[in-house]
């Protein structure tokens, strides 16, 4: 009897699972079937008069939902007046999509555009020379919808690493996946802040910039940094460094906001509030444990997939008690990279994940690795 064949209603992550031994792929334990179906749906009123669920009786809404698809995991009213519903099973996901009305109220239902996917990082030397297309295809059955390899730039050359960023078609990141016979830990992927190459501010790219051209070296407006030899000054924190410096307090804080947003599955605005309130001074939060990296990274390629903080989707903050946030991970996976200083920005995010425990503690960490 193998305890792997669980239905979609079983919790996809249970802690204290049997551990695999010291060798990769030692046991042939199947990875439990994951919730790789959408779980977050938006219910919108179909109304000529643009009516919403503001003002509609909560008893009626709850009764109509449970009456048509059964008890759901959670229901929340968004600021827009639409409903955000988290379903608990594949069956419910199918049923809610077909919903045409709640009681007598005509509605339309769609999947939430961002809450139904998540990103994680795996590291596997055996996958270094396997084409991305093949990896994607082989991992599809475990809910992986997209794979990207992390590359580093060394001596002007772009080199592949054994680290892969996986996008899962589920809001919950699995703890492990299996690549053939090898069982791999999945860590949360935290992208780097997006810095605009025009105005040097965070959260948007040059193509959507409404600011003015600002020098990344001296923070003066009207010229770019390529030929600038003026004294270094950062536009974001006013410190004595370039805007692309990894020593920048503003950069580290931005990084922490993104990290908090992802780990707690909240909006950028909410994450920003948390970070701002708990880190009034530099140097006492887990984000500062990042190793000092030579500030040569000024390309935008590694920052491309970061959502801009401005176009924020309504969040499901209060209804999700994410197990991956609260879980006591008994043995954080050691990360065996980054011995060299020419590591790109992507890897910094990736290192941070190992420090995730520190996020939970309010006590500032005394250790600085800077
Ligand atoms: Zn800009
Ligand atoms: Zn300048
Ligand atoms: Zn700065």
Residue 26 CA, ligand 1 centroid: distance in Å:
51
> Which ligand places an atom closest to the C-alpha of 210?
1
pLDDT at 23: 52
Is there a single domain that holds both residue 90 and residue 151? no
Residues within 5 A (CB) of ion ligand 1: 196, 198-199, 209, 211
Residue 93 CA, ligand 2 centroid: distance in Å:
54
Residue 320 lies in a domain: no
Pick from 138, 169, 188: which residue ends a domain?
Answer: 188
Residue 270 lies in a domain: no
Is there a single domain that holds both residue 96 and residue 157? no
Residue 323 lies in a domain: no
Element (H, E) at 65: helix 58-69
Residue 284 lies in a domain: no
Confidence of residue 35 (pLDDT cuts 50, 70, 90): low
Region 338-357: mean pLDDT is 38
Residue 5, CA distances (Å) to 8, 90, 162, 182 in order: 10, 15, 30, 19
Confidence of residue 266 (pLDDT cuts 50, 70, 90): confident
Residue 289 lies in a domain: no
Q: Residue 185 CB: number of other CB atoms within 10 A?
A: 17
Residue 247 CA, ligand 2 centroid: distance in Å:
19
The pTM for the full model equals 0.55
Pick from 87, 111, 135: which residue ends a domain?
Answer: 111
Is there a single domain that holds both residue 66 and residue 85? yes
Tell me: pLDDT of 259 over 70.
yes
Residue 106 lies in a domain: yes
Is there a single domain that holds both residue 123 and residue 169? yes
Task: Give long-range contacts, CB 8 A cutoff, 24+ apart: 153-157.
Answer: 153/299, 153/342, 153/344, 154/340, 154/342
Is there a single domain that holds both residue 76 and residue 94? yes
Is there a single domain that holds both residue 106 and residue 123? no
> Which ligand places an atom closest to the C-alpha of 246?
3
Residue 197 CA, ligand 1 centroid: distance in Å:
7
Residue 179 lies in a domain: yes
pLDDT at 279: 67
Residue 35 CA, ligand 3 centroid: distance in Å:
41
Residues within 5 A (CB) of ion ligand 2: 215, 217-218, 228, 230
79-131 residue pLDDT tens: 899 999 999 999 999 999 999 999 999 999 999 887 888 999 999 999 999 99
Q: Report how far residue 223's alpha carbon sits from residue 217's, in angstroms, rounded to the nearest whole number.
A: 10
Region 156-178: mean pLDDT is 92
Tell me: pLDDT of 28 over 70.
no
52-81 residue pLDDT tens: 999 999 999 999 999 999 999 999 999 899
Domain that includes residue 83, residue range: 40-111
Q: What is the CATH number of the domain that holds 97?
A: 3.30.70.330
Residue 229 CA, ligand 2 centroid: distance in Å:
7
Q: Report how far residue 146's alpha carbon sits from residue 133's, in angstroms, rounded to the nearest whole number.
A: 9
- Count the domains in the chain: 2
Residue 70 lies in a domain: yes
Is there a single domain that holds both residue 123 and residue 184? yes
For residues 294 and 263, the model is more confident at 263
Is there a single domain that holds both residue 146 and residue 93? no
Pick from 111, 131, 163: which residue ends a domain?
Answer: 111
Residues within 5 A (CB) of ion ligand 3: 234, 236-237, 239, 248, 250
Is there a single domain that holds both residue 96 and residue 137? no
Residue 229 CA, ligand 3 centroid: distance in Å:
18
Is there a single domain that holds both residue 141 and residue 105? no
Facing residues of 292 across strands? Answer: none
Is there a single domain that holds both residue 169 and residue 107? no
Residue 135 CA, ligand 2 centroid: distance in Å:
44
Residues with Cβ within 8 Å of 171's Cβ and at least 6 positions away in sequence, in order, are 39, 40, 115, 116, 117, 118, 265, 320
């Amino acid at each position: 009897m193998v305890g792997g064949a669980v239905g979609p209603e079983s919790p996809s992550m249970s802690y204290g699972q049997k551990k695999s031994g010291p060798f990769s792929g030692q046991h042939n334990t199947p990875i439990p079937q994951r919730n790789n179906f959408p779980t977050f749906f938006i219910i919108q009123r179909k109304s000529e008069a643009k009516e919403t669920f503001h003002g509609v009786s909560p008893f009626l809404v709850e009764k109509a939902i449970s009456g048509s698809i059964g008890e759901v995991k959670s229901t929340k009213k968004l600021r827009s007046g639409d409903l955000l519903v988290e379903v608990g099973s594949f069956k419910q996901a199918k049923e809610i999509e077909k919903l045409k009305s709640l009681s007598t109220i005509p509605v339309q239902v769609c999947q939430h555009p961002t809450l139904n996917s998540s990103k994680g990082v795996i590291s596997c030397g055996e996958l270094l020379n396997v084409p991305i297309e093949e990896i994607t295809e082989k991992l599809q059955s475990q809910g992986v919808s997209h794979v990207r390899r992390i590359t580093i730039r060394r001596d002007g050359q772009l080199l592949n690493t054994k680290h892969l960023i996986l996008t899962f078609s589920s809001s919950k990141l699995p703890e492990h996946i299996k690549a053939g016979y090898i069982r791999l830990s999945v860590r949360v992927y935290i992208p780097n802040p997006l810095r605009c190459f025009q105005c040097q501010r965070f959260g948007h790219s040059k193509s959507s910039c409404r600011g003015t051209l600002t020098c990344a070296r001296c923070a003066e407006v009207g010229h770019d940094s390529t030929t600038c030899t003026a004294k270094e000054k950062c536009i974001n924190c006013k410190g004595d460094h370039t805007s692309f410096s990894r020593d920048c307090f503003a950069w580290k804080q931005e990084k922490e906001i993104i990290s908090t947003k992802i780990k707690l599955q909240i909006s950028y605005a909410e994450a920003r509030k948390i970070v701002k309130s708990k880190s009034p001074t530099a140097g006492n939060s887990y984000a500062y444990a990042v190793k000092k990296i030579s500030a040569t990274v000024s390309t935008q390629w590694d920052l491309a997939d970061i959502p801009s903080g401005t176009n924020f989707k309504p969040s499901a903050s209060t209804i999700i008690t994410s197990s991956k946030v609260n879980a006591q991970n008994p043995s954080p996976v050691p990360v065996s990279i980054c011995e060299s200083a020419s590591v790109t920005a992507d890897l910094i995010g990736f290192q941070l994940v190992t420090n995730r425990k520190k996020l939970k503690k309010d006590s500032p960490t005394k250790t600085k690795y800077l």
